[in-house]
Structures are given as structure tokens and as C-alpha cells.
Structure 1
Amino acid sequence: MSLLTSSLLEELSCKLALPVFLFESVAMFRYFENLVNPYPEGEPRVPPRGLLPFIVHFSRPVAGLLVAMSLATALVSAAEVVFFHYMGELVDWLSSAEREGFLAEHGWRLVGMGLLVVVGLPLLVLLQSLLTHQGIFGNYPMLGRWLSHRHMLRQSMSFFQDEFAGRVSQKVMQTALAIRETVMKLMDLLVYVAVYFTGAMLLLGNAEPWLMAPLVVWLVGYVGIMWFFVPRLRNVSMAQADARARMTGRVVDSYSNIQTIKLFADTRREQDYARDAMEKFMVTVHRQMRLATRLSVSLTLLNSLLLVGVAAMAVGAWYLEAVSLGVIAVAIGLVMRIRFMSDWILWEVAGLFENIGTVQDGINTIARTPAVLDAPDAAELEVPSGEIRFEAVRFGYDLPDGEARRVFDGLDLNIAPGEKVGIIGRSGAGKSTLANLLLRFYDLESGAIRIDGQNIAEVTQESLRRHIGMVTQDTSLLHRSVRDNIRYGSPDASEEDIQRAVRQAHADSFLDDLVDPQGRRGLDAHVGERGVKLSGGQRQRIAIARVLLKNAPILVLDEATSALDSEVEAAIQEQLYALMEGKTVIAIAHRLSTIAMLDRLVVIDEGHIVETGNHEQLLARDGIYAALWRRQSGGFLGLEASSETDERRDQRPMEEMPS
């Protein structure tokens, strides 16, 4: 019975000891993992454009750990050099000592050597690994990604209109990783070179000064190889980083617009478009690999000469009885170690400059000051009534040739609190630009836009946009659930509020049947990138539900119902009219029947207000509005053959250029 009890107790203690050990290990790892917060709060700052200041900007939170890591690495390297010294002494002891008294004479030294190897070195490596892998390796690049991403989110609309989304995201991911690699490689190189080379010179020079001569010659040759190859590797690496980002951007662009590609059945053109970027990338790869081959051969030759030179001089010194066998063992061992390390160091230096090239390339994208910034003393916007005033607004888009395409030149428009105003005009007249300026996606050249007397350039952009609800013609949804998309901008909304907005937007008619590939249904179903899994009308209804839920005091409708069929549009119009109650509304539409009942209609032509009044007044005036109304066919605005046909022409200057 006692044996059985003892056996059970032993088994139980083993089962309990293992989780305790694992818990303690996890706690140790977690301690070092939590030494750095990779998601610091506070307002993100624009990174500096210089290489060193840029790296320092992202490295400050881990600076202490980097210093501690370098000290631990130096101790590990010094321990290895001491181990080589002990090995030389051991050879000398074995060659001269008698077996009978060997342990009595050298036993404690052997124990000390064993403790250094078995206990001291592993503990030093454990400390170095905890600092490196747990404290720095994951947190450091994540810190860079977090700060860069937050800064990118503050960039203006024009920045993203001129860049590939895939290119920008790759820059954020690559640059953060390259910063870590640059700093850690540089610190490792400095420590290893200083400790190992200095240790080798001291050990060999102490035994026989002439043994240092091959090391000095090797060092001169090594520096010469680095001086020749590293700048060339750096230049090709910078070109390669840019070519890689361009290649990735083109591939992502194809995937993002896959519907258009398949619609026009032109995959061959997309293949050629991607292949052109891939071939340019491969040119940089071939240049890099040619340098790599030449570098490998040069380094192997130099290291072979070092090994032969030190071995020949050590054997010669032993023959002349100038050094012992232990010195020869130390010399050969250190040279072999330096030989292997020199290969590693040179490739680390090449990798260092490759990462520097990536960082420098990333600086051009990440370290940009946003075109639209909050004023230093920007206040929160308050909207007690919702009056909007455009005062002598002057604005134009910058074109690549340095010119500006003038859109507005002294525009004045006053919208009373609670007034519902329809904006009418041909494509390219400036209607959508007016809405974008109200949202401060762009800054004015001169003039001012005021909401309840507050200049929107003097309030925070976030507070401005919180008070404006907008539904656009080109609705884009986030690749998240329907619920997340509707609640976007109203994170505290209850489930009941969401359901009410869904019903008001008549989105409940299709949500019950909506299922994504993971089996999520209804509000939990994910909509795909930019909402591609939904039809245009379904996306529009979700966008309308989102604005209904936001319930902002100012409402902007830019062709809000253009993607809906007539029956659904008629049903939603009733909800939109209810939504407009008590709000200041700016509605843009080609379909005049959707805005004819608004309080006032404003006709814009070539950036100027040419007519204003309600529907009946403008018809009686028999001007541009009346002519457009007569050309309506089923409520759609017919356009003259000479007019622009792309509604977005007034938003992006590049699209103004002839193709």
C-alpha cells in the first residue's frame, strides 16, 4: 500500500512540476516581451527625412534594450575568446604535465573551464536571447509599423490618389523590418569585430608579436574588399527595393481591379504590365548576384591567405622554439573562427547596406508631411445650428507640369441652418469638389469655409468629419462584417440602433440571404475588399444605413441613390427625407427628380454659380436648369456631346490629362 501511495505521489508531483516549470518559463518570456510597448499612444509625429534621424525616430523606445543586447553580446564574445585561451593552456598542460599529478595541479582550473562552458556561457546566451528575441525582435518592427501606419492614416486624399495602395503598405511593412535589421546588424558587427579581432591580436601578440602581422595584412585587405563592394551593393539594393515595391504595386493593382480585368477580357495586357515590372526587378537581382559571386571569391582567397600565413608563421615560431604547441592551437583556432566570421561579417555588411537602401527608399514615402494638417491650436468643431458659408473660395488641382487646373475662383455660397440645397451642373463643373472642400480633403488657396462661423481650417479634421455624414456615388466598404461597416463612425451604437438603420435603408431585404465563404450570415457576413461581394445597390444601401446611424447635423449626398433601382430608390427617398429633417443638406445629383423638391437649387457651371432658386423659380427663369430639366429622360440628366462624361473629373487632376 505504501509503495502504491509513493508511486502515486511521485506521478502527481511530476505532473504538477511540469506546469509550474512551464508557467515560470512563460512568465520569464512574458516579462521580457513586455519591456517594450509596440503600440505607444500620443499624437504621431512626421518622421524626419534624414537617414539617421529617421532611424532614431523609430528606435527611441527600444534604445535601452539595444544597449543591453550589445553588452550581452560583448560578454558572450569575450567568453568565447577566453575559452580559446583556456584551450591553448590545456594543450600546454597536456604536453608537459605528468599524468599522476595532473589533476592535483590543474584540477580546479579544469573545473573553472567547465563551469564557464557549461554554466556561464549558456546563461549569457540565455540573457542575450531573451533581450534579442523576446524584448527586441518582434516589438521593434511592430513599433515601426504602428507609428508609420498611424502617420499614413493622416495623409491627405491626394497622397493616396497618387500612390498604389500595395506599394504604400509594402513600404510600411518593409521599412519597419529594415530599420530593425540595420540597427541590430550594425551593433552586432561593431561588437563582434571589436571583441574577436582585438582578442585575437592580444592573445597572439602576447605569445609572439610577429603572429599579428598576417592579421594586420588581412585586415587591410578585408577593409579594401568592403570599400570596393559595399557601396556597389548598397546602390543596387536601393534600386532593387524600389523595383520590388513597384512590382508589388502593379500586382496588387491587378488584384484590386480584377472585375475590370475580367470584364474586358484583357489578362494578356495585365500579364505584360506585371512582367515589365518583374523584368526590371530581375535586372537588379542579376546585378546583385554578379557582385555576390565576385565578393565570395575575393573573400575566400583573402581568408585562405590568412590561414596559410598564420599557420606558416606559427609552425616556424614553434620550430625555432619561440612559441608552445598551445599558442599554435590558439592561433589556428582563432584564425578559423575569424575566417568563418569574416564571411559572415561581410555578408552582414552587405545586408546592412541593403537594409539601409530599403530604409532610404521608405523615407521617400513615409517621411512626408501630410498636405492637410490641423492647425497647432485647432479646436473641436461645434455645430449648434449647421450654417455653412463658402466665402471667396479659390481652389485648383496641381497638375504634374506644375500648373494648376482652376476649379473655383472666388466662389461665394451661403447655406442657412437646416436648409436643403441641391447642387446641379454638368460633369466637371466642380460639384463633388465642393463637397470635398467642405470635408477638408484639400486646403483652399484662399478664402474660407465656415460652419456656424468657425473656419474649418482652424478646427480638427476629425471633429469636422464627425459632424458631416456623406453618401457618395462610388461607395467603398471595408473588408469586414456588414455590422462593422454600418457601425463605422458610430462605435457606441446599440444592436437595436443598427437594426433600425438597416430597416430604414431597406437593407434587410437582402441581408437575410447574405452568406460569406466562412458561413457567416446577415450582419456578420464579410463583404470582401471594397465590398466586391455585394452589388452596387446593396453597397449603397449599407452606406445609407451607416449615415442614418451616424445622424450627423450636416448631410452630404453625392449621387446617393444612383446605384439603386427606381422601386428601392422611391422607398429609401422617404427615409432620406425623414433623415434630412433638422439637418443642413447638400445634395448632388444628375437625376434632377431626386433633388427638385429641395429648398434651393444651385447651378454651377465652370466653377461659378450661374443660377439659384427653387425648382419652380428656375423653370420660370428658362435658363440652364430649365434646359437640363427638359432633356431629362426618366429623371436622368442628358449631357451634351461636348461635355465631360466622367463625374470624377473634378476630383483628380490626373484624370484631366488626355489619354
Structure 2
Amino acid sequence: MNTLFNWFEKRVDPFPKDAPQQPPNRLLAFCLHYTQGVWPWLILISILTAVIAVMQVVIFGFLGEIVDWLASANRETFFRDEFWPLFWMGAIVVVVIPVLGALHTMLMHQTIFGNFPMRIRWRAHRYMLGQSFGFYQDEFAGRVATKVMQTALGVRETVAKIIDVFVYVVVYFGGTLVLVGSLDLAMMLPFIGWLCFYVVLLAYFLPKMRHISELQSNARSTMTGRIVDSYTNIMTVKLFAHNSGEQDYAKASMNEFLGTVHPQMRLASKLNISLDLSNSLLLFAVGAVGLFSWQAGNATVGAIAVGVGLVMRLEGLSHWVMWELAGLFENIGMAEDGMKMLSKPIDVNDKPNAKALTVTGGAIEFDKIKFNYGKDGGVIDALSLSVASGEKIGLVGRSGAGKSTLMNVLLRLYDLEGGAVRIDGQNIADVSQESLRKQIGVVTQDTSLLHRSIRDNIAYGRPDATEDEIIEAAKRANAHDYILDLVDLQGRTGYDAHVGERGVKLSGGQRQRIAIARVFVKNAPILVLDEATSALDSEVESAIQESLNALMEGKTVIAIAHRLSTIASLDRLVVLDEGAVIEEGTHDELSVADGLYAQLWARQSGGFLGLDESVAAE
């Protein structure tokens, strides 16, 4: 049996290899986009659904014939006279319908229900990984994850219900009208009236439920995003004693979500009451018309039995269909809500057939670059700066001068609005983003580690690094000794210990040393240090500075630092102010000049910049 299950489970590949594409921003096209590769099985399911629905209607008709046979048949010769009709109907009931039902179930549950949403999640996740850095600065991580997860279910349910439920309803209801009409036209009239009223109910209630569901989906994402945001920043919550504030923050979104639930339930109650009333009227009408028709000699006892039986069947079926369609609109709401996020275009894209960056020396040129983060005022306007191959420069300036912006555009986290950045003469806009970032090692001030083992975090710089290379990098970053003493809650020790979300189980200095070890392993020809030792105490910083000097050997280096003493020995210092280069030179040259660098250096105490706002460094 497991072999059979396994065969059906492998009909749809949950992890297609084709490159993710931007989904359309129209619902039908959006659903079709994510249904690629699944259509053959959905069509087969709809065919099976239609055949099963027809057979169920035929069985009702056959039961009516049995009633008529029993009313007039000879008991002694009944089975001999009606053997073959009874045999074939028995075969349909006992063999054909169960086999078709089993095939339908296997396709639906083994082939579609598990693989289809996972396929959507996989494709959506890969697309979202390619989203621009700016996109994630404007969104809750929890909200994005919720959209990916619930949109997959929304699309699956939308497509499955339309294909399966819609086909079943149309075929079954249509077959019911044909069957009753063939028995007695008068008895068909109540069914037509009931069907018209049923359609009116659907047309009135379901769009309202769809609207509520869309609001509810968005409210659910916001609620989840706020809760995840509190958990992610739990240290900040604790430090500022903000439990009550976070409760209120979450409660507001929970109330907003609840504000969509109550109207939804009111609509559901009104819908059920209306449906129960229409079903009762249908039962009364069919029974009354059937009796009058029988009295007039136009209908047989079997016809009445079929009519009443179909009403009883429709009573349960109508509730099922109503809830399925309500669920359909709820899922359409989820799919539409997710579509608004998942179909957003990616701001930073590789050009078609973009080549890999080839670094021969690591020379960097910022050629009249312009960038302003989409604001009116320019952060950087026509800035030019050249860094020679193997040169080590330090960037200095007040907060907002543009130092981190230079790093962002060098890594192509954003596209320039003018000018170009070139590495060894190659415009970075013309090469693939992955090849660009593989050639640049970065240690940032805000170190973020993955909730994985120490080994995985260090090897993130180069996944094929050997164990010896990982340990050597940790030693050079002055991290090996404390790593050996680590133990996590699951009892994993040393390099196998997990660091917690964003590395919360480690101190700031420990996280920074892991980040430095990661760059040692990467060994990229270009190195960017953005406050690389800011989280380290003086003793550890001193021990690591030698390692950083070794890391910088033979590389092109751009270093940003508040602590000017850490970059004073670099080949050249570049002073930025309001997005422009205002001074360049060595530390000795700039410290005696009457410029901004000399002011910053003079105001340092213990190697740190002072707090005077007019000269505070970034």
C-alpha cells in the first residue's frame, strides 16, 4: 500500500528547478501562474468528480425504479426478471464508485494537497529571497512569512474548490433536474425555484464574505507580524520594561482581527437560516406536488420516492456546497491579499544573461554616482572616488554623510539613480548580483547570525570550507576558545552549538568575532568593514586588530569607523560630508589640516568621537 501512496505522492514535484518569475497581479493569472505543472492532475480530478456525480444521480433514479418494481413485481420471479439491471447497478455501487472514489481521494490527498501548496511556497520563497533589500526594510519579517504560508493554502483551496466542487455541483444539480424532469415535469418546478433562490443567496452573501475574508487575511498577517516583532526584539522589550506596551500593541491588532470575525459569523448565521428555510420549503413543495401528481396519475410512487430522496440529499449537499463556496471566497481573499505582496516587482534585477564578475585586482571606481533612497533631497549627488587595487581606505564623516550608502551601492543593495560603480573596469550593474557579493567580504556593525550551529554560521562565508579551515578562521578571529565552551539547550557543544535567533545566545563581541571568522573563511578580494570592531572591548579589539590586519593583506579595503584610531594607519582616509568628498589624505596629513577630520580627531576621547551633534560621526 505504501508503494501505491508513494507513486501518487511523486506525481507533482514540490521543488521545481525553474527560475522564479514575478507572479501576475491579477487573481486568475496569479492562480494560473502557481498552478503550472499541476494542471493535468487537476483536470483528471475534475473528470472523476463529474463521473462520480453522474453515477450518484443515476443511483437515485434506479432506486425509484426499484420502488416501482416492488409495487407491481412478482416476488417469486423478481430476481430472475431483473437480474441484469440489479447486477450492473450492484457492480457500480460496490466496485466502480469505490474505485473511482479511491482514485479521486489518492489524487486529491496524495498528489495535490501536500505537494501543491509546498510547490507554491517553494516558488514564492525563492522569489521573495530575490526581493530587494529595501523591500525588507519596509516589511515585518513575520508578515512576509505569513503571506508566503497562507497564500499557498489560499491558492490551493481556490483552485481545488473551483475544479472539484464547482464541477460536482454543476453536474449533480444539472443531473438532478434532468432526472426529476424525466420522471415528472411538475415535480421539477420546485427544484428550479429552489435552485434560483439558492443562486440568489450565493450572489448576495458570498461577495460579502469574500470582502470580509480579504480584510481578515490582512488583519491576520498584521497581527502575526506584530507578535513576531515583539518576540524578535524581546531584549528591547525587557530593557525598556515594555510588556504592557507590547500587550496593547498586539491587542490593537487582535481587536482589528476580531472586528472581521464577528461580521463574518453574522453573515454565516444569516446564510444558514435562509438556507434552512429554502430547504424546508423545497421539501414541502416537492412532497405536495408529488402527491397531487400521483393522484392525477402523472407520477409513480417511485418518482415521489426519488423526488423526496433528492430533496433530503440536497439539504445536506446545499449546506456543504455553501460552506465550500464560502471557504472558496475566504481562500480567494487570502490569495488576493497575498498576491499584493508576492507579486511586487523586484527593484534590483540582474540584466538578461548577466555575466559573473571577474576580479583581477580589486580596483573600485565610483563614477559621478547619484543616489537618494527615493527621497527628494540627494544623499549622494555626483560623487566620484577611486580606490586602487590593494589600497586600503577609511571613510570618515558625520552621521548621514553617506558612508554606509557607499557600501550599500557597492554591494548593489540598491540601484543607482545616476553614474556607475566599477570593479576592475566592470560596471556592477552589468554583472550578476551573486557574483558581485561573492567577491566582497563584509563585517557590519549590526551583526546578525543565523539560528544554526556555529559551524554553519562560519561556513556561511564559503559553504565548501573544510573543518580545519573553519577552526583556523575562528582562531584568527580570536573565537575558538570560547566556542569550545559553548553548550546549547539541546546539549550540543562547541561548533555544533546553535546560537539562537539572530545570535541572541552570544554576546555582542562573540557575535562580532563569528562574523569576522565568516569573512576570514570567505577570503574575498575586496573587504568592507563597517564598524567591524565596535562591539569589542579594548582588550579583545587589540587581539583582533592583528587578525584584521592579516585579513586585509593583499585586499582592497574600505573601512568605516567611529573609532578613528582603528583606521588611522590605512593608506588613505576619505572624509565625506553631505554626500560629497571634502577631504582626502593620510591621517598625518589630515590631522594637521584645518578641516573636518582634524575637528573630529580633536574631539575624540579614548579613541571615540565626542557627542557634539555638529561633529558627531556616523
The TM tier, using the shorter chain, reads over 0.9
Instruction: Tell me the residue number matched to 1:561.
Output: 533
Q: Normalising by the residue count of structure 2, what TM-score does the alignment of the two structures yield?
A: 0.98
Give 1:644 deviation, angstroms: 6.2
Equivalent residue in structure 1 for 2:257, among 281, 284, 289: 281
Per-residue Cα deviation, 1:429-463 (whole angstroms, up to 9, x for no partner)? 11111111100001111000000000001111000
Q: Which residue of 2 aligns with 1:146?
A: 122
Within 5 A, what are the aligned runs for 1:575-654?
575-642=547-614, 647=618
Equivalent of 2:482 in 478, 488, 510: 510
**1:521 and 2:493 are equivalent in the alignment:** yes
Shift of 1:642: 4.1
> Structure 1 residue 254 and structure 2 residue 230: aligned?
yes
Alignment check: 8 A CA contact 2:45 2:164 kept? no
Preserved CA contact (<8 Å) 1:426 1:639: no
Residue number among 469, 483, 496 corresponding to 2:468 in the alignment? 496
Equivalent residues in 2 for 1:170-319, closer than 5 Å: 170-319=146-295
Partner of 1:469: 441
Runs of 5+ unmatched residues, structure 2: none
Q: Is the contact between residue 81 and residue 199 of structure 1 (CA under 8 Å) also seen in structure 2?
A: yes
Match of 1:169 in 2: 145
- Shift in Å, 1:615: 1.1
What letter matches 1:555 in structure 2?
A: L
State the match for 1:478 in structure 2. 450
Q: Shift of the alpha carbon at 1:314?
A: 1.3
Structure 1 segment 1-80 matched on structure 2, within 5 A: 25-80=1-56
Task: Give the secondary-structure state (helix, strand or coil) at the position aligned to 1:100.
Answer: coil
Q: Secondary structure at the match of 2:303?
A: helix
Q: Distance in 1 between matches of 2:592 and 2:167?
A: 86
Match 1:350 to one of 301, 326, 335 = 326
Maintained 8 Å contact 1:211/1:310: yes
What's the RMSD between the two structures over aligned residues? 1.2
Instruction: Work out the CA distance in 1 between the residues paired with 2:599 and 2:297.
Output: 112
Query: Does the CA contact (< 8 Å) of 2:610 and 2:616 recur in 1?
Result: no
Post-superposition Cα deviations, 1:341-386, rounded to whole Å, max 9, x if no partner, equal 1111122222111111111111110001111111123111000110
Q: Find the residue that maps to 2:142 and give its secondary structure.
A: helix
**Matched residue type, 2:550:** A
Q: Distance in 2 between matches of 1:446 and 1:379?
A: 22
Task: Choose 335-344 or 408-417, whichever is displaced more.
Answer: 335-344
Deviation at 1:237, TM superposition (A): 1.1
Q: Distance in 2 between matches of 1:284 and 1:42?
A: 38
Contact 1:428/1:644 (<8 A) preserved: no
Post-superposition offset of 1:620:
2.7
The one-letter code matched in structure 2 to 1:128 is H
Which of 543-552 and 135-144 deviates more? 135-144
Hey, what's the Cα distance between the residues in 2 that align with 1:204 and 1:604? 86
The equivalent of 2:303 in structure 1 is: 327
CA distance in 1, matches of 2:519, 2:174: 69
What is the CA–CA distance in structure 1 between the aligned matches of 2:616 and 2:202, rounded to whole Å? 59
1:175 Cα deviation (Å)? 0.6
For residue 59 of structure 2, what is the aligned residue in structure 1? 83
Residues in 2 aligned to 1:42 and 1:414: alpha-carbon distance in whole angstroms: 39
The amino acid across from 1:462 in the alignment is: E
C-alpha distance in 2 between matches for 1:271 and 1:207: 65
Superposed CA offset, 1:313-365 (max 9, x none): 11222222322221111111111111211111122222111111111111110
CA distance, structure 1, for counterparts of residue 238 and residue 201 of structure 2? 52
**1:571 and 2:543 matched:** yes
Q: Secondary structure at the match of 2:365?
A: strand
Partner of 1:129: 105
Matched position secondary structure for 1:404: coil
Q: Distance in 2 between matches of 1:311 and 1:35?
A: 48
| CA–CA separation in structure 2 for the residues paired with 1:26 and 1:38 | 19
Moved more, 526-535 or 634-643: 634-643
- How much has 1:134 moved relative to structure 2? 0.8
CA distance in 2, matches of 1:325, 1:513: 86
* Residue range with higher mean Cα deviation, 447-456 or 335-344: 335-344
- The superposition leaves residues 14-58 of structure 1 with CA deviations (integer Å, 9 ceiling, x where unpaired) of xxxxxxxxxxx1111111111111111122111111111111000
Q: Shift of the alpha carbon at 1:489?
A: 3.3
AA matched with 1:372: V
Letter in 2 for 1:117: V
**Distance in structure 2 (CA, Å) of the matches to 1:306 and 1:405:** 70
Contact 1:397 1:405 in 2 (8 A): no
CA shift in 2, pair 1:166/1:643, >3 Å:
farther
**Residues 135-177 of structure 1: CA deviation (Å, up to 9, x unaligned):** 1111111111011100000111110000011111000101111
CA distance in 2, matches of 1:112, 1:441: 69
- Structure 2 counterpart of 1:74, one-letter code: A
Matched residue, 1:426: 398
TM-score (norm: length of structure 1): 0.92
Give the Cα separation in 2 of the matches to 1:434 and 1:518: 42
Of 347, 352, 374, which aligns to 1:371? Answer: 347
Query: Hey, what does 1:393 align to over in structure 2?
Result: 369
| CA-CA distance at 1:211 after TM superposition | 1.0
Aligned residues: percent identity?
A: 57
Partner of 1:652: none
Structure 1 equivalent of residue 316 of structure 2: 340
| Structure 2 SS opposite 1:632 | coil
Match of 2:385 among 410, 413, 436: 413
Distance 1:340 1:644 in 2: 73
C-alpha separation in 2, matches of 1:215 and 1:405 = 69
Question: Helix, strand or coil for the counterpart of 2:36?
Answer: helix
Measured after TM superposition, the shift of residue 607 of structure 1 is 1.1
2:355–2:430 Cα contact (<8 Å) kept: yes
The 3-state SS of whatever aligns with 1:509 is: helix
Q: What is the aligned length?
A: 618
What residue identity is the alignment partner of 2:438? R
CA contact 2:609–2:616 (8 Å) conserved in 1: no
Distance 2:498 2:309 in 1: 62
Q: Please name the residue that 1:109 is paired with.
A: 85
Partner of residue 655, structure 1: none
C-alpha distance in structure 2 between counterparts of 1:405 and 1:492, whole Å: 44
Q: Cα distance, 1:643 vs. partner?
A: 5.5
Q: Distance in 1 between matches of 2:319 and 2:482?
A: 64
Cα distance in structure 1, aligned partners of 2:433 and 2:613: 39
Contact 2:477 / 2:517 at 8 angstroms: preserved in 1? Answer: yes
Distance 2:511 2:97 in 1: 62
What is the identity, as a one-letter code, of the residue corresponding to 1:387?
A
| 2:71 equivalent to 1:99 | no
What amino acid maps onto 1:501 in structure 2? A
Rate the CA distance shift 1:643–1:619 in 2: closer, same or farther, 3 A: closer
State the 1:310 CA deviation: 0.8
Measured in 2, the distance between the counterparts of 1:385 and 1:283 equals 61
* 1:382 aligns to 2:354 (yes or no): no
